[in-house]
C-alpha cells in the first residue's frame, strides 16, 4: 500500500526541509513571538499582504488560551464585533445573549490552518531569549534556543542560542510580554504590569493601545495589557483577534 522508504530517508527528509526553512527565514520582514490568537491573527493578516512572516512559539502546540475558555471548559466567548472575524475564518458559533460562543479547539485549529494556508512559517518548541539590537537601540531581530534547553540545569548544559533578523518584531506573548519585559530588563522601557479583571473596559483598551511600543517592536493582545497596565479580561477573545489584525495593519505601514 505504501511506497518503499527507509529510516534514513525519513531522517533526511526532516533535516532537509527543516534546514531549508530555517535558512530561508533566518531573516524575515516580521517575526512574531507567541502563537496565541493575536499572534496567529497578525501573522495571517501580514502574510495575506505578501509579508515574509515567522512565528516563534515556545510550546509544542499553537493557540495559547484559544484552545480553552475558562476553568478548563473549552467554550470560548466573543463579543460583537468579534463574530465578524469568526465568520471570516469560517468558525461556527452560537449566540448566547449578548455574547457569541465557539468550541475552542475548532476555533483555534481554524485560525492555525488559515495562517498556515497563507504561508506563515512556524518554529515551535523554540524559546525567545533576547533581542537583537541595532543603532539607537532599535530591535532588529531575536535570539532563540530550543525550549528544552531552558529546562536543563545550567551546571550541566551550555548551549549557545542562535539569532534571527527581522525588520519588525511583534510581542504576542500574552501576559508575560516577553519581548517588552526583556527591553524593560535592559532599562530601555518601563511597564506597570496588567491590572485586575474588567471585561467591559479591557477589550476596547487592548485594541486601542495595540501598536508600536519601541523602535522595531509592536505589541498585540495581552502583551499590550502588561505594557500599559490595562485590565485583564479572561476567556473572551474578540479583542485578541482584533488586536492581531490592528497590529498587522500597523506593522504593514511601518514596513512601507
- Domains within the chain, CATH numbers bracketed: 8-70+105-255 (3.50.50.60)
Is the pLDDT at 188 greater than 80? The verdict is yes
pLDDT digits over 23-68, tens only?
999 999 999 999 999 999 999 999 999 999 999 999 999 999 999 8
| pLDDT category of residue 101 using cuts at 50, 70 and 90 | very high
Helical spans, DSSP H, in 4-82:
7-24, 37-48
The pLDDT value given to residue 222: 96
Is the pLDDT at 154 greater than 80? The verdict is no
Q: Which of 178, 57, 168, 175 is nearest to 116 (CA)?
A: 57
Contacts 24+ apart (CB under 8 A), 89-97: 89/114
pTM value surpassing 0.85: yes
Peptide bond into 81 cis (omega under 30): yes
Amino acid at each position: 500500500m505504501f511506497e518503499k522508504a527507509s529510516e534514513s530517508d525519513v531522517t533526511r527528509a526532516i533535516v532537509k526541509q527543516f534546514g531549508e526553512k530555517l535558512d530561508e527565514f533566518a531573516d524575515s520582514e516580521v517575526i512574531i513571538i507567541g502563537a496565541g490568537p493575536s499572534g496567529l491573527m497578525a501573522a495571517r493578516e501580514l502574510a495575506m499582504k505578501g509579508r515574509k512572516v515567522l512565528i516563534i512559539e515556545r510550546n509544542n502546540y499553537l493557540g495559547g488560551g484559544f484552545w480553552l475558555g475558562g476553568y478548563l471548559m473549552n467554550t470560548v466567548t466573543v463579543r460583537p464585533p468579534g463574530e465578524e472575524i469568526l465568520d471570516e475564518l469560517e468558525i461556527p458559533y452560537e449566540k448566547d445573549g449578548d455574547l457569541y460562543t465557539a468550541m475552542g479547539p475548532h476555533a483555534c485549529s481554524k485560525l492555525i490552518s488559515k495562517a498556515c494556508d497563507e504561508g506563515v512559517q512556524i518554529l515551535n518548541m523554540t524559546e525567545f531569549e533576547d533581542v537583537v539590537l541595532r543603532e539607537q537601540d532599535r530591535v532588529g531581530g531575536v535570539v532563540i534556543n530550543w525550549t528544552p534547553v531552558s529546562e536543563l540545569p545550567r551546571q550541566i548544559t551550555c548551549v549557545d542560542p542562535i539569532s534571527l533578523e527581522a525588520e519588525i518584531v511583534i510581542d504576542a506573548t500574552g501576559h508575560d510580554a516577553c519581548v517588552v519585559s526583556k527591553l524593560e530588563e535592559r532599562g530601555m522601557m518601563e511597564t506597570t504590569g496588567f491590572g485586575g479583571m474588567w471585561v467591559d473596559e479591557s477589550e476596547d483598551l487592548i485594541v486601542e493601545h495595540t501598536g508600536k511600543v519601541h523602535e522595531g517592536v509592536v505589541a498585540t493582545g495581552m502583551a499590550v495589557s502588561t505594557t500599559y497596565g490595562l485590565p485583564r479580561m479572561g476567556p473572551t477573545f474578540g479583542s485578541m483577534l482584533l488586536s492581531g489584525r490592528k497590529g498587522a495593519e500597523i506593522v504593514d505601514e511601518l514596513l512601507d
